[in-house]
Amino acid sequence: MADGWNSDLLKEVWRNAGVGLMVQDRNRRIIAVNPSFEEITGWRWKDIRGKRCDLVFGCRTAGGKSIPEDVCPGIRVINGEVPRIARELLINKDNGRECWVEVTVFPIKDSEGNAEYIVSTFQDISEKKRYSEELLRTKTLATLGQLAAELAHEVKNPLNAIQIQMQLIEQEISAHREFTKSHVPEITAKVKEEVIRLSVLVDNCLKFSRSSRLVLKSEAVGALLEDLVKLVAPQAGLNGVGIKLQIEKDLPRVTADGEKLKQALLNIVVNAFEAMPDGGTLTLSALRDGDAVKIISRDTGCGIPEDMKDNIFELFYTTKRDGTGIGLPLSQNIIQAHGGSLSCTSSDKGAEFIIELPLEKSC
């Protein structure tokens, strides 16, 4: 300890620190809190002394889902999985209300290097979360406005086709022509085709509008990619596509909605298969890049034409006969909702889609 540091000085630091401080033993029982902790959480020392933190706070993530023990920040630090970890958590206050806090957890080790105690710092981020949610709502409304405008445009085509078929029936009847059975299959088939097209369009729009609603938890990107490969392996075999999976060792975890992230990746992989009609190789890589996990999908198809590269993430943009133009915009929306980015590079040797996701806050 540096010269001049003594117990009285440490007591003053403890009492006057601008962040909440909580000390627990290895069993996560609370053994000390400072005044700022009481102010931030509303919990008084006398009411929580000796209690386990999970029974006091009921920690939850953004989706309101309780945190499983295997990803609890305190347990991960106690077990030596990470030297320090920070998480944004929704906790219960003593008055029954909720509070968003950023909690940073680190160990106090014994002489053998094992975590004997854990210390947690608490910062109230409720205002920051409200501001972020308001920004997200504003962005969502703008996106839905764009979606509504594009949807209205796209819906006109199948509705016009249905209207034309109905007019043909009216003309047949008004002209008192014999309306034979031979007319029926052709007209009904066309109407059914356009109704199915409308149904698919509406379903995809619903997926897009819900893509930013996330249920977040700690996820291992490698495991997500392995699940994805198992899912698409049969289709890859039918298409004559080989899949290479390259996952960096000890890849850090990310905070994500695993199901939506898999949906985003699936859309990219399906596009890659379609870009290799005569077979080829799809390489899926995951590695750490600074404060992010980078996921790369690289195919050996013909690449994306230069005049199309700027449009591939536009809603309803497609050059495929049966395409909807929803897949890649949906993937981009999901990735951006995670605070990440999706980009693409291309050459005549294939296309490369790059996803960057922020790391779970640990160091």
Nearest-angstrom CA–CA distance, 118 and 78: 7
User: Which structural domains are found in the chain, ordered by start?
Assistant: 7-124 (3.30.450.20), 130-210 (1.10.287.130), 217-358 (3.30.565.10)
| 90-106 pLDDT per residue, tens | 888 887 788 889 899 99
Nearest-angstrom CA–CA distance, 50 and 57: 14
| 132-155 pLDDT per residue, tens | 666 666 665 565 566 666 666 566
- The tally of CA atoms less than 13 A away on the side-chain side of residue 95 is 8
Nearest-angstrom CA–CA distance, 266 and 207: 14
pLDDT band at 355 (very low <50, low <70, confident <90, very high): very high
Chain-centre distance of CA 321, in angstroms? 30
For residue 272, what are the CA distances in angstroms to 208, 229, 277? 20, 13, 9
Nearest-angstrom CA–CA distance, 63 and 44: 27
pLDDT band at 238 (very low <50, low <70, confident <90, very high): confident
pLDDT band at 336 (very low <50, low <70, confident <90, very high): confident
Query: Taking residues 286-303, what's their average pLDDT?
Result: 90
Lowest mean pLDDT among 27-41, 44-58, 117-131, 309-323: 309-323
Nearest-angstrom CA–CA distance, 90 and 162: 51
pTM assigned to the model: 0.51
With both helix axes pointing from N to C terminus, report the angle between 258-274 and 221-239 in degrees, rounded to the nearest 10. Answer: 30
CB of 275 closer than 8 Å to CB of 319? no
User: Which of 10, 92, 3, 12 is CA-nearest to residue 54?
Assistant: 92
Residue 294 has pLDDT above 50, yes or no: yes
Nearest-angstrom CA–CA distance, 218 and 216: 7
CB of 115 closer than 8 Å to CB of 107? yes
| 173-191 pLDDT per residue, tens | 666 555 555 566 676 777 7
pLDDT of 235:
86
pLDDT of 170:
66
Q: Which residue has the higher pLDDT, 163 or 109?
A: 109
User: Which of 284, 278, 248, 287 is CA-nearest to residue 264?
Assistant: 284
Length of the chain (residues): 363
For residue 304, what are the CA distances in angstroms to 227, 282, 286, 323? 27, 15, 23, 16
